[in-house]
Amino acid sequence: MNKSRKSIVTATLAVAAMATALTACNSNPPSATACSLPDGPDLDRAISAARFDLETGCEHQFDQYFQRLLTIAEGDPKKDNKASFSEFLIWANEEGLLSKRQARETYTRYFGVKYVSLVSDYSVCDQTCPRQQEVMREMNKELVDKEQGLLKVSADRREYYRANRLFQEAELVLEATCEACGPAE
Amino acid sequence: MKTTTIRDREYKRNFVRRLMSVCLLFMPLAVHAASQTPTIKLFPTTVLEEIKHTGNVAAEMETGLQAVITRLDEQQNLYMESKCEGNEGDPGCEQIARQMGKSYLEMLTIMGDKLPEMETAVNSTSSSLEQRIRRELGQKKTSWSLQELLIGEQSESGNNADRPALRGRSGMRLSDRFHQYYQLVARSGGEVNSSLAVVASDIYLDMQETSSLIARTREEISRATLMEQLNQSFGTITPEMQEVVAGVKSILFGEEEALTPMTAPPASRPERGYESPLKL
């Protein structure tokens, strides 16, 4: 009898211990890996929140965070926003979230006049002309990103105009140059 | 009363457009070539000489055509003043119509005579530019360095008035665009390499197109000549003649004359597409 009573108590204690342990797990504070994209109109605050998330397990969502920050910045377009995004990308590089090249290309893609779609190592005839249409499509997409970065986020119409002008000139000159290069061998 | 089919009108429109494209291209070339020799290797002296020659050939054709066009103008005025419209059977009116037909044939002959020479000049210039563009832009540059060349002269101050309008996007006449090129090259003294790359590309693509237009125009001149020779036996003035002459006049004198066809189109309002009341 005593033996059975003992085993009941032991079992009860074990269940209670397990329940306590489970409760203890559930009562942990929510981790940063919830990865909720920042909200609200304040860009600086949103960048701080994004930094916190990105360095605590959400780095795989860098692109989504970056895009959200751009959207938030659109709510208050000003030239200073360029600096905020530049600092954010430099931080991302220092944290190892992006390589230096990726950080540069991302910044240029949105806030620069030049087109990263035109990065190449070989001559126009050899490398660009065989994929001229593809390059132009990429440039076109990049121009849309520049519209967001330069115009909607930074309110820098002059730089956007230059980017747009460069797009048109590059299209014309590439068309003529590739015509002059002739068909690829 | 003479009537025209849709096909004829389309043909006329194309013919005039081609004539205009061919002629307009060369009006400013002589001026362009007379500008300072740029330092960039896209425009060496040989290319400029070829452009100059092409401009001269175009100028000769224009000079030859001017007298015939003036005569045609006078004959047309006489035809109108004599109230020949609707009186085609009148012997006097028939005579004026035949004279106009002769002048028209003369105009076609001049163009037919000059176009082969112009075609040779265009092809030669196009070929020289092609070699230059291939070497200087296609082989010596990557797409990134080409971009840097283009952006190099986009001044920080954003003085874009100095830059040429781009081909096919500006909506301006060819002659105006070439005038801008001339001003750009003349003012730059050959220093604005980025703009010269754009100008060279623009001229080269236009030359390519023009070469094909000249070939097609030559073929159509033969057809137009045959048609007018047939018309001569009836002493009629065709709308085709009028449109071609009006087109050539606008090329030479920059006149934006309203076409006054001898046979008016049906007096009905042009059909408009459906417009939704929801349209804002």
Concatenating the DSSP letter of every residue in A94-140 gives HTTSS-HHHHHHHHHHHH-SS-GGG--SSBIIIIIGGGHHHHHHHHH
In this structure, what is the dihedral angle of CA atoms B118, B120, B123, B127, given to the nearest 10 degrees? -130
Under an 8 A CB cutoff, do B151 and A180 touch?
no
pTM passes above 0.80? no
More confident residue, A174 or B22: A174
- All structural domains of chain B with their residue ranges: 7-154+171-253
Q: Tally A–B CB contacts below 8 A.
A: 106
Backbone angles phi, psi at B269, to 5 degrees: -75, 140
% of chain B beyond a pLDDT of 90: 10
- The confidence score (pLDDT) of residue A137 equals 97
- The confidence score (pLDDT) of residue A124 equals 97
Is 80 exceeded by the pLDDT of residue B208? yes
8 A C-beta contact, residue B110 and residue B68: yes
Name the most confidently modeled range: A127-136, B53-62, B77-86, B266-275. A127-136
Which residues in chain B are contacts of A112 at CB distance < 8 A?
Answer: none
Report the range of poorest mean pLDDT among A57-61, B24-28, B266-270: B266-270
Nearest to B154 among A123, A127, A166 (CB): A166
Which residues in chain B are contacts of A124 at CB distance < 8 A?
Answer: 137-139, 141-143, 146
Under an 8 A CB cutoff, do B137 and A124 touch?
yes
pLDDT, averaged across chain B: 68
- The confidence score (pLDDT) of residue B40 equals 58
Under an 8 A CB cutoff, do A172 and B166 touch?
yes
Of the candidates B258, B246, B244, B240, the residue with the CA atom closest to the CA atom of residue B3: B240
In this structure, what is the dihedral angle of CA atoms B236, B241, B246, B249, given to the nearest 10 degrees? -110
Residues of chain B contacting A, Cβ within 8 Å: 129-131, 133-134, 137-144, 146-148, 150-151, 154, 158, 160, 163, 166-167, 169, 194, 197-198, 200-202, 204-205, 208
What is the enclosing helix (H) or strand (E) of A36? none
CA B211 to chain A, closest CA, distance in angstroms equals 15
Which residues in chain A are contacts of B210 at CB distance < 8 A?
Answer: none
Angstrom CA distances, B140 to A25, A153, B195, stand at 66, 37, 17
Average confidence (pLDDT) over B74-85:
88
Nearest to B166 among A128, A162, A168 (CB): A168
- Measured in whole angstroms, the distance separating CA A14 from the mean position of its chain's CA atoms is 49
Backbone angles phi, psi at A123, to 5 degrees: -65, 160
Amino acid present at B221? I
Nearest CA in chain A to B157: A158
B7-154+171-253 architecture in CATH? Up-down Bundle (1.20)
Q: Structure tokens of B119? A: 């075609």
Average confidence (pLDDT) over B229-238:
67
Distance CA B137, CA B13 (A): 37
Report the range of poorest mean pLDDT among A37-46, A106-115, B84-93, B245-254: B245-254
- The confidence score (pLDDT) of residue B156 equals 47
- The confidence score (pLDDT) of residue A5 equals 56
Average confidence (pLDDT) over B142-158:
77
Is 80 exceeded by the pLDDT of residue B277? no
Confidence of residue A3 (pLDDT cuts 50, 70, 90): low
Distance CA B176, CA A83 (A): 42
Nearest to B198 among A113, A161, A173 (CB): A173
- The confidence score (pLDDT) of residue B115 equals 82
More confident residue, B210 or B75: B75
More confident residue, B209 or B256: B209
Confidence of residue A103 (pLDDT cuts 50, 70, 90): very high
Is 80 exceeded by the pLDDT of residue B177? no
Under an 8 A CB cutoff, do A118 and B146 touch?
yes
Is 70 exceeded by the pLDDT of residue A145? yes
Nearest CA in chain B to A121: B142
Average confidence (pLDDT) over A2-7:
54
